[in-house]
Structure 1
Amino acid sequence: MLFSELKCKDVINVRDCKKLGHVCDLEFDECSGCICKIMVPGGNQWLGFLRCEPNIVIPYKDIRQIGPDIILVDINC
């Protein structure tokens, strides 16, 4: 899967069924090439340019499923 495909998917928290946003960045291990974390913008998405909240960082282990349209995650927020 390409990053351009990944960042178009909605990220949904299965604990409260809330949409967290779209993937804006990711962190990967240089040695193994595996994804360690994905990042979703924090705060109000409509006023993103005014946002001062940090990104929501989601460890790869908390990703439950990556589907054709959404990414399901299980996090406390």
Structure 2
Amino acid sequence: MKLSELSGKEIVDVKRAERLGMLGQTDLEINANTGEIQALLIPTGKWFGFRKQQGEEIRVPWKHIKKIGSDMIIIDMNDEGTV
């Protein structure tokens, strides 16, 4: 999948049944050695219940992404407390 194909997709947390934002409004953390996406970095402006990380953004590790569909990305934030 190309990066351009990800842009504009809604990010939805399946446990909270909430729309969290659009991928175009987020940043990606990319491994410089492999080129793989490590995490989504989402601005915290309208988020509640998650721990804030430095820089006022939420880090969603790639392992929490469960499905990438035609118009949305489903994430499953587990209860391990790492965001």
Structure-1-length-normalised TM-score: 0.75
TM-score, normalised with respect to structure 2: 0.71
Does 2:24 align with 1:37? no
Query: Which of the numbers 55, 68, 71 marks the counterpart of 1:69?
Result: 71
**2:15 alignment partner in structure 1:** 15
Give the superposition deviation at 1:4.
4.0
Structure 1 letter corresponding to 2:64: D
Q: Which amino acid is 1:27 matched to?
A: E
Unmatched runs of 5 consecutive residues or more in structure 1: 46-52
8 A Cα contact 1:63 1:74, kept in partner = yes
CA deviations 1:27-63 (Å, max 9, x no partner) are 1111111110012221239xxxxxxx82221100000
Q: Which amino acid aligns with 1:35?
A: I
- Point out where structure 2 has 5 or more consecutive residues left out of the alignment: 48-54
In the comparison of the two structures, how many residue pairs are matched?
70
2:15 counterpart SS class: coil
CA RMSD for the aligned pairs? Answer: 2.2
Residue in structure 2 matching 1:28, options 23, 30, 33: 30
Conservation of the 8 A alpha-carbon contact between 1:22 and 1:40: no
> What percentage of aligned pairs have identical amino acids?
36
